[in-house]
């Protein structure tokens, strides 16, 4: 099944240029039980066995990461590692010092002092989990992935033609709107002349 993408036009304020970018739409979800059933299909283990192992990983992995351990979870190198984030800028330091001085005016605080590494405290840090995907996984996924361009209008989804695709009109309607098959003209059926009415003897009056 193809990956459905929509094209969006945005303006990049950094470069001053318009960009057209793709976004995935109509993404589906495979829940945990469905994943276990899928992994167990055709294997020597049951879905319950798969679920038990997955739950153990879910329980034990955070403990290992908390010990500053990088854990390799697949033969091809799926890796979980602990990471840390957090920062403080000169402006944030000034605001923090100003708030401290406002809380206690008796303190002699230089609110404009230069930022130092000691100003970033442990309480400013956040623990995160980093995930490194194996390159083979990405390469394998690229060989399986196909794209389908869609255009979403109101509550319906319709295929959007690719600008590079050949036209399907084919020029089969050669006659056009006012095609040349009618050789008698608009008023050609009236043989009595231009606006004249036929007399009983066959002549016409202008």
d(CA 126, CA 33) in angstroms, rounded, equals 31
pTM across the whole model: 0.63
| CB-based contacts of 89, cutoff 8 Å, min separation 6 | 115
Assign 45 to helix, strand or coil.
coil
Residue closest to 93 by CA, chosen among 107, 109, 80: 109
The yes-or-no verdict on residue 170 having pLDDT over 60 is: no
The yes-or-no verdict on residue 165 having pLDDT over 80 is: no
How high does pLDDT run on average in the chain?
Answer: 81
The alpha carbon of residue 5 and the mean position of all alpha carbons in its chain are separated, in whole angstroms, by: 7
Q: How far is CA 144 from CA 2, 77, 138, 199, in A?
A: 9, 20, 10, 82
Q: Is the distance from CB of 44 to CB of 23 less than 8 angstroms?
A: no
pLDDT tens digits along 87-132: 999 999 999 999 999 999 888 999 999 999 999 999 999 999 999 9
The yes-or-no verdict on residue 202 having pLDDT over 80 is: no
pLDDT tens digits along 20-67: 999 999 999 999 999 999 999 999 999 999 999 999 999 999 999 999
| CB-based contacts of 66, cutoff 8 Å, min separation 6 | 82
């Amino acid at each position: 099944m193809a990956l459905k993408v929509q094209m969006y036009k945005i303006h990049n304020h950094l470069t001053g240029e318009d960009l057209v970018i793709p976004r995935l739409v109509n993404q589906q979800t495979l829940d945990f039980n469905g994943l276990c059933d899928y992994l167990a299909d055709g294997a020597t283990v049951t879905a319950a066995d798969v679920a038990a192992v997955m739950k153990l990983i879910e329980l034990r992995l955070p403990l290992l990461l908390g010990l500053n351990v990088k854990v390799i979870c697949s033969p091809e190198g799926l890796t979980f590692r602990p990471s840390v984030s957090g920062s403080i800028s000169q402006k944030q330091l000034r605001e923090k010092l100003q708030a401290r001085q406002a809380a206690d005016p008796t303190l002699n605080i230089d609110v404009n002092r230069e930022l130092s590494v000691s100003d970033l405290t442990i309480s400013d840090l956040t623990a995160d989990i980093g995930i490194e995907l194996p390159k083979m996984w990405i390469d394998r996924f690229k060989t399986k992935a196909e794209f389908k361009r869609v255009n979403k209008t109101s509550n319906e989804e319709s295929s959007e033609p690719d600008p590079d695709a050949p036209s399907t009109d084919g020029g089969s309607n050669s006659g056009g709107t006012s095609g040349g098959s009618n050789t008698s003209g608009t008023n050609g059926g009236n043989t009595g002349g231009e606006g004249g009415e036929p007399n009983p003897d066959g002549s016409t009056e202008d």
